[in-house]
Structure 1
């Protein structure tokens, strides 16, 4: 698994979903939220459907901050415009190396100034969180419970605070701040089994229903003269056609799609989701020179398990507990 591919996927997971992941504002919702009073109860699916629709139908401009741990954070400026079923988005990093990422529906362009490079790929092949309506959304309630635990203010907006708790140890919990009028997610925390915040993402400043025109943002996607375009080719395939399968399913996680990433050396990517959390299995031929260290690694809520499988090298990545990735690794088998 290449570092570049993992970095590209991490960028998409963080910035293109708006309901991303993140940890640092230093207080728990139970301490800051006003107790809920006489609020109509919604199911898990109803809360998520409302949030999903808000992210699709509302235009906004804001500064988004993602943090994990006491000293790790990043921020970006987001412009999100909607016109009918068409969506255009611009994300400008404010920390770290300069990056500009544009999305027009499923087309994603990332501009990397120091290399005068534009990386082009499809959003669908990135496994972007959440995969609510690509999965069996009706089963989400089998694995999560939802409770409105109060209200709070984020970036000047009143928000419902909703706790999504997992029913097993294969997935993390979430605490979500959803703007009361629109349902747009303005803050999200990813929680471990003890309720500790692993990551947090939040708008520090937000303008809802901003007067943005999609064509204005789309015009900025023109590649400057002299810049190189690197297309991340991902060919749709099936695990069976590639000779892979699972001995047993991992509870709640359904297969979403499978790609052979031609531009990344032919790495196979098999994507799973439970409607909230997603897992990607990257499989490539074992190379003694490049593939040396097996084990499990964590960065905030994102865990990675790397393992040799006979003549193959597996990299399992997801915002899930490490035991979930190990369950996938243990059940992956070569069938031809």
Structure 2
């Protein structure tokens, strides 16, 4: 479980610049028309949905190569070189870790392939979660404007590019705030900070080097991600399900959060495939995952709360089950999810 959570976090944070920094697939919307030359008032008139749509459109429509650095308030830092390209409906990415254990992650739409040179293993999987938030943003009842406000703070330079600095502030204490640097011409996110309720920076992600509109061939990245001869290939199987079908329900859901998907991950080699259930919720920006598995006293310790940058992890025993709640949200939000979960059968 710990390894799976770590891999998911590394990949998601590595894609921060690709869609508001959370790897999200935002619904498309046209930004308001530009003001007259020299006008500084137009960007201030954008609402939270317009800013996010502009950032997402830029992340999908531009090819770029850069070095991306992530740092947390606990002193942990990591970096990666990123290639991003698009051709029609095909989006490709290549992420090469520059710190920690060697790792290469390739993505072609929902197909993800991870090369681990030290163990000579290749892991392949489909990650529908790259697009789980589309319906929330496109629907008329999208909760984002109800729980966040947007305000342009001014301008700054990041990796040599002029950027608008936008503050996304939460309207309650159930979610973090964000400060985003959006490249002026395209809207591409070039830097992002996650802020706590007092405005302190919990985590920062930014390009230290960036080249826009460079040729990144989708066929070249596709060839690289399929070159697995001589490697041990492990295929991660995930089964789509519902919490109700698995016998779980929430007495109440924290305000603004909606269930967006649910999966079951079979345990390899187990006589009965009672694997881990992952139930994902989102308010359109923040995401929370509930992982439920059979309790095992040999693997599971005491109930606890862990923090790493903006991400908190809470573990709790629920009858004969073990619950792990993970999200880039305040601890009170995780507790609300954890204590609301109950077994139906």
In 2: Cα distance, 1:131 partner to 1:240 partner:
19
Which protein has greater RCO, CA pairs closer than 8 Å, 6+ apart?
1
**Deviation string for 1:282-304 (max 9, x for gaps)?**
00011121112211110000000
In structure 2, the partner of 1:281 is 290
2:34 corresponds in structure 1 to none
Stretches of structure 1 that go unaligned for 5 or more consecutive residues are 22-35
Please state if 1:313 is matched with 2:314.
Answer: no
Are 1:143 and 2:144 counterparts? Answer: no
8 Å CA contact 2:110–2:126 kept in 1: the answer is yes
Q: Corresponding residue for 2:94?
A: 90
Is 1:188 matched up with 2:192?
yes
Aligned Cα RMSD in Å?
1.6
Q: What 5-or-longer segments of structure 2 have no aligned partner?
A: 23-38, 269-273
In structure 2, the partner of 1:31 is: none
Alignment of 1:256-295 (within 5 A): 256-263=260-267, 266-295=275-304
Tell which deviates more after alignment, 211-220 or 144-153. 211-220
Question: For 1:196-211, what aligned pairs fall within 5 Å after superposition?
Answer: 196-211=200-215
1:170-223 residue CA offsets vs partner (Å, 9 max, x unmatched): 000000000011111000000000000000000001011111111011111123
Q: Per-residue CA shift, 1:240-279, capped at 9, x if unaligned? A: 1000011012111110100001257610000011111000
Displacement of 1:46 after TM fit? 0.6
Residue pair 1:166, 1:173 contacting (<8 A) in 2 also: yes
Spell out structure 1 runs of 4+ moving beyond 4 A. Answer: none
Match of 1:160, SS state, is strand
**Cα distance, 1:110 vs structure 2:** 0.5
Shift of 1:37: 4.1
Shift of 1:239: 0.5
Equivalent residue in structure 2 for 1:172, among 166, 169, 176: 176
Q: Is the 8 A contact 1:234 1:259 kept in 2?
A: yes
> 2: CA distance between counterparts of 1:170 and 1:140?
13
**In structure 1, distance between residues paired with 2:227 and 2:16:** 24
Q: TM-score, normalised by structure 1?
A: 0.91
Following the alignment from structure 2 to structure 1, what is the Cα–Cα distance between the partners of residues 74 and 238?
36
Contact 1:131 1:276 in 2 (8 A): no
Determine if contact 2:21/2:189 at 8 Å carries over to the other structure. no
In 2, the alpha carbon distance for the partners of 1:155 and 1:136 equals 30
| Rounded Cα–Cα distance in structure 1 between residues aligned with 2:187 and 2:198 | 27
From the superposition, tell whether residues 263 and 9 of structure 1 become closer, same or farther in structure 2 (CA, over 3 Å): farther
1:11 aligns with 2:10: yes
Q: Distance in 2 between matches of 1:37 and 1:81?
A: 31
Task: Report deviation, 1:133.
Answer: 2.0
Counterpart Cα distance in 2 of 1:55 and 1:123:
18
Identify if the C-alpha distance between structure 1 residues 136 and 88 changes in structure 2 by more than 3 Å, giving closer, same or farther: closer
Residue aligned with 2:10, SS: helix
**Aligned residues of 2:74 and 2:309 also touching (Cα < 8 A):** no
Q: Partners in 2 of 1:37 and 1:16 — Cα distance?
A: 30
Of 33, 56, 59, which residue of structure 2 is paired with 1:55? Answer: 59
Q: How far 1:39 sits from its partner (Å)?
A: 3.4
Partner of 1:24: none
TM-score by length of 2: 0.89
Task: Please give the per-residue CA displacement for 1:114-154, whole angstroms capped at 9, x wherever unaligned.
Answer: 11101111221xx45x8542425532000000000101010
- Which one of the candidate residues 243, 257, 263 is aligned to 1:239? 243
- Following superposition, the deviation at residue 70 of structure 1 comes to 5.7
